[in-house]
Amino acid sequence: MLPYFRRYESHENSVDNNFRGQSGEMTITDLKWRDPLCEAFIRGAESIGIPRNPDYNGAYQEGTSYVQRTSTGKLRMSAARAFLKPARKRRNLRVITNAHATKILLDGKRATGVAYKRGGFSGRSDEVHASREVIISGGTINSPQLLQLSGIGPTNLLNNLGVEVLHNLPGVGENLRDHYGARLTARAKNVDTINELAHGPKLVGEIVKYFLGRRSILELGPTLVYCFWHSDEMIRNADLQISFTPASYDEGKQAKLDREPGFSLAAWQQRPESLGYVRARNKNPFEKPQIQPNYLSHEEDRRVLLAGIKISRRLMNTEALAPYFDYEGYPGAHVQKDDELLDVARQRSTTLYHLMGTCRMATKTDPTAVVDDQLCIHGLQNIRVIDASIMPSMPSANLNAAVMMIAEKGADMILGKPPL
């Protein structure tokens, strides 16, 4: 897979060209922002044995580092900007906007096209017909729902929906996984944080600085530093990801920033074992499907997340952070027992929006399999799924880079090119 990661990216400060690309369409930049709290957090991590890592997307992952971003200058480098915009003038590309796919068209076991509506539920119905293949790239939620409403999925579910079963495939919509983050907040002292800069006259100043090309909080994402580590000394392949940002949120929720100085840490299990599902609620393609992630249903996920909360507390209480650490805001120092911490995690933790796996790639003997190693749907012809839903298990990090790698490799498969 590494050659496909390297092909699409252009990393501005690569320290190892064996792992990072230099000439791809997607620009990857290192965060330039430096902050006293972030520096103290990294020094504190070093003091408990977690080293600095110049590139967590390089030879090894474990350690702390300022985040890498898909951006150029002050603008986000989205996949649409990197890949779609340069291709807009191609004669073989037509982009239809405000269109909602409603059904995959089948002739027996062969996909022939897609039915869709323009303008919403009451809009005009239309069809597009494929001369070669139909490519499903609706994502982890929409791809299985579209397949189910097209008669491709578990027989029992389709019967309950009143959808004619055209191809029984029990794995469609199953195997849903997601990263589930437990957030801790602290009140800060002796330092300015993003909280104060995001309100009132100071926010006006940050807006002015942004448009003048100066450093501003408007160019920041929700996380400034990543820490990859392990939940147990017997585990040497990082199963924990912890984020740090010099900002805090009400009751541990990533929503509205506090007005008082604060900082936050969030921890999650990198390779969760808890499995959920996505299932259409009825025959209406505009109806949101049922999404059941079953967070923390597996014992291993509970163990790792609990370890992550405890390590986050150790990081919060290092000597390096002591000049800036006032007290723990959420869940609060009074919450100490394992069962109490898990209760807090269940109540206030949140999705990291890294959903994957609902059209799982596996051999046809696997009862959860949807696509094969060429991303073709088992038992059907001329149809592939190319998005995060095909992942058989969770990658050890955020999904953005892995999804673009899948797209790169999938494009070569469509064209019949040999693997890199």
* Predicted model pTM: 0.92
* Euclidean distance between CA atoms 97 and 107, whole angstroms: 26
What pLDDT, on a 0 to 100 scale, did the predictor assign at position 251?
A: 64
Nearest to 346 by CA among 334, 354, 355, 338: 338
Written as one string, the DSSP assignment of 335-351 is --SHHHHHHHHHHH-EE
What pLDDT, on a 0 to 100 scale, did the predictor assign at position 302?
A: 96
Helix (H) or strand (E) holding 279: strand 276-279
Written as one string, the DSSP assignment of 77-121 is --HIIIIIHHHTT-TT-----SEEEEEEEEETTEEEEEEEEESST
Tokens describing residue 293: 């992630």
- Tens-digit pLDDT profile for residues 14-62: 667 889 998 999 999 999 889 999 999 999 999 999 999 999 999 889 9
Given the residues 11, 179, 230, 354, select the one marked as catalytic.
354
* Euclidean distance between CA atoms 359 and 387, whole angstroms: 9
Look-up: residue for tokens 């585990």?
235
List the chain domain ranges.
2-79+178-351, 96-177+355-415
* Euclidean distance between CA atoms 273 and 277, whole angstroms: 13
Q: Is the peptide bond between 331 and the residue preceding it cis, with omega within 30 degrees of 0?
A: yes
Nearest to 369 by CA among 176, 106, 174, 178: 174
Contacts of 122 (CB under 8 A, 6+ apart): none
β-pair partners for 127 = 115
Fold entry, domain 96-177+355-415: FAD/NAD(P)-binding domain (3.50.50)
What pLDDT, on a 0 to 100 scale, did the predictor assign at position 255?
A: 67
Q: Is 2-79+178-351's fold the same as 96-177+355-415's?
A: no
What pLDDT, on a 0 to 100 scale, did the predictor assign at position 234?
A: 85
- Tens-digit pLDDT profile for residues 324-375: 999 999 999 999 999 999 999 998 899 999 999 999 999 999 999 999 999 9
β-pair partners for 95 = none
Architecture of the domain whose range is 2-79+178-351: 2-Layer Sandwich (3.30)
Contacts of 393 (CB under 8 A, 6+ apart): 177, 271, 357
Helix (H) or strand (E) holding 350: strand 350-351
> Any catalytic annotation for residue 354?
yes
β-pair partners for 118 = 99, 124
In the chain, which residues have pLDDT < 50?
252
